[in-house]
């Protein structure tokens, strides 16, 4: 969606972009389509801080009002700091607003309540395997060991994620969602923003940070362009960069991965890599910039992510012949590779009313016109133009596999708790789309930004998708939401410690 449309949303407190995302770009160009989404967001109704309340100096400046930025602000405030958040878009939320499936965490109280036996070591090993062994191991260890406490922290603020499912590449149910099974993004953003407001932390929107200032090797603040016309220099003792990735910067995508230049992107238009550029100017360095994740299930016409929870709750994928063609719960890169081998890079998610009941986001997909529906498999086959006999055979074979807990065709072992036998039946046409950028700036586990010599840049911290290294060559679904909370909290704590010690 275009910036002017976001401004309109704010002015009328109307309907906004939510959940897994109305894509703003297709094939590297703005789609020009403006979808009306029949779900309201607390972010759209928020009364953000007015410019006349801006101070010349803050303890900590946080650049970006997504999940990582708001988590950092809350922790810094808890430690007695006076933080401020600058957000270049007209509303808070960033790509966090688009998060769908949930937040991964191990050894949580909610897992224990459900009798799910999990361990931090298992979470570590499966994430490392998902990243093909290239993950930053120190960051990954910190990540898994602090995942349960992050769930507890959110719960303490009435952001409760106690509905648990599974995503691809995982062997245990550790993807935490809101109680009703709805998409995690809007719920998380609204909850964090509510707490930020209650703590009276100022949030300035349409506040585009253009430069991080420094003197004698130490960060001193930022230069901000307000409302596209008024630039101010704001001082601080520390800066936390939480600006997200570069999944909407098609020029940078094409530079790093030319073969992806014609793919749609699920990213909101503010995800252009601004934080990475500013940090590089200060001597910061990057890692894994060519590691760009393509999500396998994206509705192509509107670049809208179809969340992994749909497969996690039992859906299968079929090709144009109505047959399965791989393990739907494999890692994202492998599922994407299997779809890319099909004609026109498209496939169909097939599921029943049971899956629809367990994944509330599907109601949103229906409202947007993505879902085909029929009381019979034959009728569904006709709607998506695949051979009815083959689709019926596929469904029968799959239901037998679920019953016997044995997928002889592709060795799928997870998300087989329920068969697909409850009519009506549903289908969504999908294809791959750019979803996440694993690359970004280098930090240590204290979230301090590192220079080319591996030394911290004094007073500069970063967290979230702007950072590289944690996910290696492939991100596991549900780990990005965990990352923004876990490392966002750490950035708030460590920047506060830094300010107190100086």
- Enumerate the H helices of 131-239 as residue ranges: 137-145, 147-156, 184-198
Closest residue by Cα to residue 408 from 420, 400, 418? 400
Q: Report angle CA 366, 372, 376 to the nearest 5 degrees.
A: 130
In this structure, the strands spanning 292-299 and 425-437 are antiparallel
CB of 247 closer than 8 Å to CB of 435? yes
Identify the DSSP state of 102.
-
Q: Count Cβ neighbours within 10 Å for each residue of 155-171 and write b for 16 or more, e otherwise.
A: beeebbbbbbbbbbbbe
Contacts of 201 (CB under 8 A, 6+ apart): 73, 74, 77, 83, 84, 85
In this structure, the strands spanning 456-462 and 230-241 are parallel
Is 412 among the catalytic positions?
A: no
3-state secondary structure at position 144: helix
Q: Which residues pair with 142 in a beta bridge?
A: none
Q: How far is Cα 426 from Cα 366, in angstroms, rounded to an integer?
A: 10
Q: How far is Cα 283 from Cα 451, in angstroms, rounded to an integer?
A: 5
Q: How far is Cα 106 from Cα 123, in angstroms, rounded to an integer?
A: 7
- Residue 469 backbone class (left: φ over 0; alpha: ψ -120 to 50; beta: rest): left
Catalytic residue among 177, 332, 475, 489: 332
- Enumerate the H helices of 58-101 as residue ranges: 67-78
Which residues are annotated as catalytic?
332
């Amino acid at each position: 969606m275009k910036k002017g449309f976001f401004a309109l949303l704010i002015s009328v407190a109307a309907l906004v972009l939510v959940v897994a995302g109305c894509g703003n770009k297709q094939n590297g160009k703005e789609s020009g389509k403006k979808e009306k989404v029949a779900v309201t967001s607390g972010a759209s109704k928020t009364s953000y801080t007015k410019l006349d309340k801006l101070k010349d100096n803050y303890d900590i400046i946080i650049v970006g009002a997504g999940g990582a930025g708001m988590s950092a602000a809350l922790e810094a405030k808890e430690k007695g700091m006076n933080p401020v958040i600058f957000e270049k878009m007209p509303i808070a939320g960033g790509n966090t607003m688009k998060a769908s499936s949930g937040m991964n965490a191990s050894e949580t109280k909610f897992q224990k309540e459900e009798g799910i036996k999990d361990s931090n070591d298992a979470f570590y090993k499966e994430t490392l395997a998902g990243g093909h062994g290239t993950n930053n191991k120190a960051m990954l260890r910190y990540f898994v060991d602090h995942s349960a406490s992050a769930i507890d922290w959110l719960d303490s603020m009435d952001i409760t994620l106690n509905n648990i499912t599974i995503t691809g590449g995982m062997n245990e149910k550790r993807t935490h969602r809101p109680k009703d099974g709805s998409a995690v993004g809007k719920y998380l953003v609204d909850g964090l923003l509510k707490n930020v407001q209650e703590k009276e932390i100022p949030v300035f929107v349409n506040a585009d940070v253009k430069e991080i200032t420094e003197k004698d090797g130490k960060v001193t603040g930022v230069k901000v362009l307000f409302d596209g016309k008024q630039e101010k220099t704001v001082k601080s003792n520390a800066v936390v960069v939480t600006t997200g990735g570069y999944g909407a910067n098609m020029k940078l995508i094409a530079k790093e991965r030319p073969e992806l230049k014609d793919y749609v992107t699920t990213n909101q238009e503010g995800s252009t890599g601004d934080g990475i550029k500013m940090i590089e100017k200060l001597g910061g360095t990057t890692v894994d910039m060519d590691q760009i994740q393509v999500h396998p299930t994206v509705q192509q016409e509107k670049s809208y992510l179809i969340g992994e929870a749909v497969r996690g709750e039992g859906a299968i994928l079929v090709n144009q012949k109505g047959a399965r063609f791989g393990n739907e719960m494999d890692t994202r890169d492998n599922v994407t590779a299997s779809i890319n081998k099909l004609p026109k890079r498209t496939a169909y998610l097939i599921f029943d009313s049971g899956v629809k009941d367990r994944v509330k986001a599907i109601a949103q997909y229906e409202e947007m016109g993505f879902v085909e529906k029929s009381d019979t498999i034959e009728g569904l086959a006709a709607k998506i133009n695949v051979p009815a006999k083959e689709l019926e055979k596929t469904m029968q074979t799959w239901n037998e596999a679920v019953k016997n807990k044995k997928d002889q065709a592709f060795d799928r072992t997870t998300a087989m708790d329920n068969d697909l036998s409850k009519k009506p039946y549903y289908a969504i046409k999908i294809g791959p789309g750019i979803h996440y950028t694993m690359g970004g700036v280098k930090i240590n586990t204290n979230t301090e930004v590192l220079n080319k010599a591996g030394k911290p840049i004094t007073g500069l911290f970063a967290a979230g998708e702007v950072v590289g290294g944690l996910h290696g060559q492939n991100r596991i679904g549900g780990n990005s939401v965990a990352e923004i909370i876990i490392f966002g909290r750490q950035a708030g704590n460590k920047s506060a410690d830094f300010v107190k010690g100086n």
